[in-house]
Amino acid sequence: MLTYLRKRILSSALPLVVVIVGVFALARLTGNPATLYLPLNATEQMRADFTARMGLDQPLLVQMADYFGGVLRLDFGESLRTGESAAAMALRAFPATLQLAATTMVLAIILAVIVGCWAALKPNGVADRISSFVSMAAASIPDFWLAIVGIWIFAITLGWLPTSGVNGSEAWVLPIATLLLRPFGVLVQIVRGAMVSALSEPYIKLARSKGAGDVRIVTHHALRNAAAPALTVAGDLTVGLVNGAVVVETIFGWPGIGKLMIDSILQRDFAVLQAAVLLTAVAIFVLNILIDLGYALLDARVRPATVKA
């Protein structure tokens, strides 16, 4: 298992370097931030001073070497906009996104498994049709629309929930409900499909013939085999959320990494952008390893040989 992990880490190092270089280069292609940060009537001299102060007058390779040196010392530089350490800003925003993503995915998976299994027990039955309609709708509704309508109904009309913000458990309901719907819709379809095919396998017939009830068949036999495709899709969906739920973060004033990245792109705040992207890339890389380990737990066939040792 350790060998496997070591291999995975080594093979992921290259993509990380590509990400670092890519973000560095692309950010600088968007132009000099001096115009954004200085008053519009700034003189040429003031622009030159600014560029020199920020080290942006150095050749690109020198800047990149500085940046890499910094990354190795875990020093990502300072934000042009706030003057704070870029790493601190990224590290502050990331847990907010992670909490949102984790809660959303746990709830989405639980709900999708329940609804998906229920629908798969009687394909084309009433439950199946209802769940199919609901899940298709859930997967197709645009989140910005849902968020605004949610605020209008639950915060303004009914007054049950706050419009936005992060204080108190009520404030979590609307952002999570908004984020939850799409992964839930997609996962219901996947779980249902996988369960329908698992339930038609010969070993299920055998289990039934031995007198096992629906619940035991679903939980002990079929679900385990249907879990792998669901895990793949759930993994992808989680990666999407960890990247930052920009729309939800913007509307609900959620101080997450997605909003931070968008703001730092618009504000040409290179240091913050680089720190945020690198942190997200590392998180996604860890997440992918966890998903792979999840496979290994579910299915002996993909377990590396060394596990047995």
Partner 1 sequence: MMSSLRTQGQFALRLSAVAAGGTLLLSGCSVANSESAGGATAASSDTIRVVLQQEPPTLEPCEANLTSTGVVDRSTITEPLIERNPTSGELEPKLATEWESKDNKAWTLTLREGVKFHDGSDFTAEDAAATIERAVNSKLGCNVEGYVFGDQDLDVKAVNDTTLQVTAQEADPILPLRLSFLEVVPAETSDTEKVREPIGTGPYQLEQWDAGQKITLARFDGYWGEKPAYAKAEYQWRAESSVRAAMITSGEADIATGLSPEDNIGDLGVSYPNNETVALRMHSDTAPFNDIRIRQAVNYAIDKEGIVASLYGGRDKVAAQLVPSGVVGHNESLQAWPFDLEKAKQLVAEAKADGVDTSAQIDMVVRSAQFPKIEELGQVLQEQLTQAGLNVKLQMLETSQHLTYQVRPFAKSDGALMLMTQHGNQAGDAAFTVDQYMRTDGAQSAFGTPELDALIKKADAATGEDRQKAFEEVFSYQNDKVVQFAHIAHQTGMIGKAAGVNYQPNSSTGDELRLAEMTPAS
Residues at the interface with partner 1 (CB under 8 A): 30-31, 33, 35-43, 45-46, 49-50, 53, 81-84, 89, 92-93, 95-96, 98-99, 102-103, 106-107, 110, 148, 151-152, 155-156, 159, 162-172, 212-213, 215-216, 219-220, 250-255, 259, 266, 268
What is the nearest approach in angstroms of partner 1 to the Cβ of residue 75? 17
Residue closer to partner 1, measured from CB, 171 or 186: 171
What is the nearest approach in angstroms of partner 1 to the Cβ of residue 18? 25
Query: Distance between CA 167 and CA 112 in Å, rounded?
Result: 28
Q: Tell me which residue of 296, 295, 292, 264 sits closest to 278, measured CA to CA.
A: 264
C-beta of residue 248 within 8 angstroms of C-beta of residue 254 = yes
**What single-letter amino acid sits at 68?**
F
What is the nearest approach in angstroms of partner 1 to the Cβ of residue 91? 9
C-beta of residue 135 within 8 angstroms of C-beta of residue 184 = yes
Q: Tell me which residue of 178, 181, 220 sits closest to 199, measured CA to CA.
A: 220
What is the nearest approach in angstroms of partner 1 to the Cβ of residue 250? 5
Query: Distance between CA 249 and CA 164 in Å, rounded?
Result: 10
Q: At what angle do helices 170-199 and 126-140 cross, to 10 degrees?
A: 130
Query: Distance between CA 179 and CA 104 in Å, rounded?
Result: 7
C-beta of residue 69 within 8 angstroms of C-beta of residue 24 = no
Residue closer to partner 1, measured from CB, 136 or 293: 293
Residue closer to partner 1, measured from CB, 27 or 71: 27
Residue closer to partner 1, measured from CB, 7 or 216: 216
Query: Distance between CA 132 and CA 292 in Å, rounded?
Result: 29
Residue closer to partner 1, measured from CB, 133 or 152: 152
What is the nearest approach in angstroms of partner 1 to the Cβ of residue 187? 14
Compute the residue count for the chain.
Answer: 309
What is the nearest approach in angstroms of partner 1 to the Cβ of residue 180? 11
- Say how many CA atoms lie within 13 Å of 248 toward its Cβ: 30
Residue closer to partner 1, measured from CB, 24 or 154: 154
What is the nearest approach in angstroms of partner 1 to the Cβ of residue 55? 13
Residue closer to partner 1, measured from CB, 54 or 138: 54
